[in-house]
Amino acid sequence: MSDKVAVLVAGSWGTALANVLAANELDVHIWSRSPEQVLEINEQHTNSRYLPGMALSSHLKATADMKEAVTGAAAVLIAAPSSAMREVCRQLKTCIEEDSIVIHATKGFETESLKRMSTVISEEISRNESSIVVLSGPSHAEEVIRQCPTTVVVASGDQKAAETAQDLFMNAYFRVYTNRDMIGVELAGALKNIIALGAGMSDGLGFGDNAKAALLTRGLAEISRIGVEMGANPLTFAGLAGVGDLVVTATSKHSRNWRAGFMLGEGKPLDEVLSSMGMVVEGIRTTKAAYAFSEKFGVQMPIANQLYHVLFEQRDPRNAVEALMGRNPKTEMETMPLQTWEQWHT
């Protein structure tokens, strides 16, 4: 197998993951649509817009020519925002090698079609969806680039492809587990961003740790409910892509979703919040998708639904909290996904 790996695109996550691969002495070629960014990565070994103050491996090569990045690569890692995935894959289709494995690290949905990222990729590059690998888990780019200990999961319907991805990324500070529940890992990674927005909003409103714990726990319950309905293994939500990523995103100041939620909780309007971020905040689009999933599958997602009203219908966040707290009394167990591990396996 060639030791060349291509990474598409050079945002925070693509750059941090490319740096892990370069640390593993692979021949890493990162593609960016920005010639200025390519020049900066190649000459100064930095990506100051997305990872300010951090030095990148001098072995990392950048190019604005996707064909050059992808030709001869054993693996292609895509870390594009969900909104750009289809467009990036349309370009990739024209140059990808037949036998290179495709890994994606994007946490979101195509909002118009409600498709998962592996579906979008497989449609565009004409590959079987089960051959795609998704990389997810609690992993802020800002900490991965500093080589802080990090654990992630790679999931695929093709165990061999998942193991290849595991081998490519695994090192002393980046530990990789495999999982065969690609649907669950994709859903968990995307949906936790909604709860992180809510947790930020709760903090911005001045609420305390009780409210945050409630959001995380009840958030995980609704993510698991919809996930199981959409074909996921319920245990995936107890793993790195589920509770692991939920905790890190809903409690870390590195999180763009938490930060956006915090500003919204402080009363700033959505357009002002988004223009001040300068980076992708996937949870906004994902809230729209979750609202549609909740209707489509008839699954209650009270937190996502209230966030939808706040984000897109100008509901006051305090009214959203009142609506959540004032719902009909329930038993806790009736709100949990019913399938067990054994049922999922039959």
Ligand X SMILES: NC(=O)C1=CN([C@@H]2O[C@H](COP(=O)(O)OP(=O)(O)OC[C@H]3O[C@@H](n4cnc5c(N)ncnc54)[C@H](O)[C@@H]3O)[C@@H](O)[C@H]2O)C=CC1
Ligand Y SMILES: O=C(CO)COP(=O)(O)O
The residues binding ligand Y (CB under 6 A) are: 107, 138-140, 193, 196, 245, 248-249, 255-257, 282
Length of the chain: 346
- Does the annotation list 255 as a binding residue? yes
Query: Which residues belong to the active site?
Result: 192
Work out how close the CB of 77 gets to ligand Y at its nearest, in angstroms, rounded to a whole number. Answer: 15
Nearby residues of 174 by Cβ (< 8 Å), 6 or more positions away: 20, 144, 150, 152
Contacts 24+ apart (CB under 8 A), 169-172: 169/17, 169/20, 169/21, 169/24, 169/135, 170/24, 171/20, 171/23, 171/24
Show the binding pattern over residues 95-134: x = contacts ligand X (CB under 6 A), - = does not: ----------xxxx--------------------------
Which structure tokens are listed for 24? 């593993």
56 touches ligand X by CB under 6 A: no
Nearest to 12, CA basis, from 60, 55, 45, 49: 49
Nearer to ligand X, 36 or 167 (CB): 36
- Does the annotation list 292 as a binding residue? no
Which option in ligand Y, ligand X, none does residue 84 bind, with CB closer than 5 to 8 A by kind? ligand X
- Does the annotation list 288 as a binding residue? no
Nearer to ligand X, 155 or 321 (CB): 155
HSE of 212 in the Cβ direction (CA atoms, 13 Å)?
21
279 touches ligand X by CB under 6 A: yes
Nearby residues of 23 by Cβ (< 8 Å), 6 or more positions away: 57, 147, 171
Work out how close the CB of 113 gets to ligand X at its nearest, in angstroms, rounded to a whole number. Answer: 16
- Does the annotation list 33 as a binding residue? yes
How many CB atoms are closer than 10 A to CB 319? 12
Nearer to ligand Y, 66 or 227 (CB): 227
Work out how close the CB of 4 gets to ligand Y at its nearest, in angstroms, rounded to a whole number. Answer: 27
Residue nearest to ligand X (CB): 11
Which structure tokens are listed for 82? 């969900």
Which structure tokens are listed for 338? 């019913």
14 touches ligand X by CB under 6 A: yes
Out of 41, 75, 80, 290, the only residue in the binding site for ligand X (CB under 6 A) is: 80
CB 53 within 8 A of CB 65: no
How far apart CA 345 and CA 124 sit, in angstroms, is 30
Work out how close the CB of 282 gets to ligand X at its nearest, in angstroms, rounded to a whole number. Answer: 4
79 touches ligand X by CB under 6 A: yes
Which option in ligand Y, ligand X, none does residue 249 bind, with CB closer than 5 to 8 A by kind? ligand Y
Work out how close the CB of 151 gets to ligand X at its nearest, in angstroms, rounded to a whole number. Answer: 13
**Is residue 20 classed as helix, strand or coil in its secondary structure?**
helix
Q: Can you give the binding site for ligand X, defined by CB under 6 A? A: 9-14, 33, 50, 79-82, 84, 87-88, 105-108, 139-141, 279-280, 282
Binding-site members for NAD(+) are 141, 256
